[in-house]
Chains A and B, each alone.
Chain A
Amino acid sequence: MEYFFQQLINGMTLGSIYGLIAIGYTMVFGIIGMVNFAHGDVFMVSAFIALIFFLFLTQVLGFGSLVLALLVVLLLGMALTSLWAWTIERLAYRPLSGSFRLAPLISAIGMSIFLMNLVQVAQGPRNKPVPPMLNDIIVLRDGANYAVTLSYKQILIIVTTTVLLIAFSFLVQRTALGRAQRACEQDRRMASLLGIDVDRTVSLTFVIGAALAAVAGLLYMVHYGVVNFADGFVPGVKAFTAAVLGGIGSLPGAVIGGLLIGLIETFWSAYFSIDYKDVATFCVLAITLIFLPSGLLGRPEVEKV
């Protein structure tokens, strides 16, 4: 039982990270109907940005306070990752809007390959171990031979995710930007006829998605303690799975999907086989798409004849 609770906590932690990335997929898909294949790599770039700034602050500038350093890294990371996403949208996707449907997907795959190799060339192919931090733990329940623990890391991840999601849902539901975004999702042409700057809204969607991915990138670095240039692909596909599982286009769906994927992966590793944990996730993806293509919270698509 203790073991189960421990896995539940671990799964929620991992799921929070996936959920944050999944929002980027789901928002972009909702607004321009495209799988932003490079989003996983934007996330990877953000993890590197976080790593570099963290090292810079602690080593070069000699920040004493870890919390302050992480906060600064978070803000800088969000800003710079957003800049990346904004640039990518401008250069690689916007010229293709309204053209051949496969073109943006291919462009996104190209961008994904580019980002991955850019980081490999610029930062080297090896794993980058991060100095250990936030390793203190709280013992929640001391069982006979197994203790359920909650580490500071996990608290940080879950709290940050929750706070950001609340702020983010406020942004989407209550602000003019959120309204514009939802309008573009329904009907881009009509939205532009009603005076909404569609291009700007699409840009902002990418920026918001990237900012959340940047948070995920920092948390990922803290959680795993290591980053690598190839780390964008698998978490990216898993986050996409989360978005699909939750119902693509649905924001709460993305978060729920993220948590579910995190839990499935953790429990699969804990109770079955760690080797096949990615296979489990990919199978969930395939099964969801085949039997429940609109996901848990998505709207079913009716075939128009």
Chain B
Amino acid sequence: MATQREREPLLEVEHLMMQFGGLVAINDLSFSARRGDITAIIGPNGAGKTTVFNCITGFYKPSSGRILLSSEGSATPSDIDVLTRSGRRSMAAAAGRIYLLERMPDFEIASQAKVARTFQNIRLFTGMTVLENLIVAQHNTLMRASGWTVLGMFGAGSYYRAEARAVDLARYWLDRIGLLDRADVAAGDLPYGDQRRLEIARAMCTEPVLLCLDEPAAGLNPRESATLNALLKSIQSEHKTSILLIEHDMSVVMEISDHVVVLEYGTKISDGPPSYVRNDPKVVAAYLGVEDDEVALAGVGIAP
């Protein structure tokens, strides 16, 4: 089982608030995702789940609140305090680097804080091949290896070696998602389920500490859904990557997640292990109000 170090919080969201004009999409949300866990965010449609993701990954600037990522060890409260006051985006604490994500632009969250994500409506580079998608994901590593293009233009050998390593990593992930023999096909030509898995593989090629998946099982058939569960479980056990996911499919959520956060109208209504959340009367009430999800919950045996 997980060691003590792995149970420390990796991501701590504190008093997060997001307003669009007069609309409060997220209201004073606090939760944490522990290192090594699969944390699920669930909630009825329009609860603000994707908005939380967009705040964490920097696509939206939160109206207020703090999003702290401690990439290696747990930061002490005094470290956090020093960083918050300093106005800087990140600092090296005793236990490793800590980042305040709400201060960082989206691409730096991905490249420095190492938070990768997928999208609800798949965003692959459809006109590029499967392999190219995975190579683009390793942009920053390759950019350094190419001497910011200058050395690469003159055909430096070090760049070609780095590119070969990048291809090896891509090959590894293609093998993991079972798309190795489709490497040279345009990503847009893949069937839907393969595209979902490819997007996860692409995110993994950035070698993230936190992988944020926005409805990874949406539109998958039961068999594909089971493969996805296995993939996520193996990412959790074999890589140093923690997972945060939004999901509507309760079979996925209940089966793989270690921790569930439930949102409704931008507010947290429940937070705990799956077994606790599924019996929480507030969660049941929230879901009963929404017909679509009632069916989903009923399917995994939640009684009103």
Tell whether any CB of A sits under 8 Å from a CB of B in the complex. yes
Contact surface of A with B, Cβ cutoff 8 Å:
302-303, 305
Q: B20 — which chain A residues lie within 8 A by C-beta?
A: 302
Check B30 for interface membership: any CB of A closer than 8 A: no
Which range contains the number of B residues in contact with the other chain?
Answer: under 10
Nearest B-chain residue to A300, judged by Cβ = B21
Check B59 for interface membership: any CB of A closer than 8 A: yes
**Bound complex: CA A267 to CA B50 (Å):** 50
Give the distance to chain B from A157, nearest Cβ to Cβ, in Å: 40
**Bound complex: CA A149 to CA B213 (Å):** 69
Q: A303 — which chain B residues lie within 8 A by C-beta?
A: 59
Check B54 for interface membership: any CB of A closer than 8 A: yes
Check B265 for interface membership: any CB of A closer than 8 A: no
Q: A305 — which chain B residues lie within 8 A by C-beta?
A: 50, 54, 59-60, 119
Give the distance to chain A from B203, nearest Cβ to Cβ, in Å: 15
Contact surface of B with A, Cβ cutoff 8 Å:
20, 50, 54, 59-60, 119
**Bound complex: CA A305 to CA B18 (Å):** 15
Nearest A-chain residue to B53, judged by Cβ = A305
Q: B60 — which chain A residues lie within 8 A by C-beta?
A: 305
Nearest A-chain residue to B117, judged by Cβ = A305
**Bound complex: CA A305 to CA B119 (Å):** 8
Nearest B-chain residue to A302, judged by Cβ = B20
**Bound complex: CA A227 to CA B59 (Å):** 51
Nearest A-chain residue to B121, judged by Cβ = A304
5 contacting pairs across A/B (C-beta < 8 A): A303-B59, A305-B50, A305-B59, A305-B60, A305-B119
Give the distance to chain A from B193, nearest Cβ to Cβ, in Å: 22
Q: A302 — which chain B residues lie within 8 A by C-beta?
A: 20
Q: B50 — which chain A residues lie within 8 A by C-beta?
A: 305
**Bound complex: CA A59 to CA B60 (Å):** 66
Q: B59 — which chain A residues lie within 8 A by C-beta?
A: 303, 305
**Bound complex: CA A302 to CA B60 (Å):** 11
Give the distance to chain A from B272, nearest Cβ to Cβ, in Å: 29
Give the distance to chain B from A260, nearest Cβ to Cβ, in Å: 26
**Bound complex: CA A303 to CA B54 (Å):** 11
Give the distance to chain B from A13, nearest Cβ to Cβ, in Å: 39
**Bound complex: CA A302 to CA B18 (Å):** 15
**Bound complex: CA A111 to CA B213 (Å):** 47
Give the distance to chain A from B57, nearest Cβ to Cβ, in Å: 9
**Bound complex: CA A302 to CA B21 (Å):** 12
Nearest B-chain residue to A304, judged by Cβ = B121
**Bound complex: CA A303 to CA B60 (Å):** 10
**Bound complex: CA A25 to CA B114 (Å):** 45
Give the distance to chain A from B26, nearest Cβ to Cβ, in Å: 15
Give the distance to chain A from B192, nearest Cβ to Cβ, in Å: 20
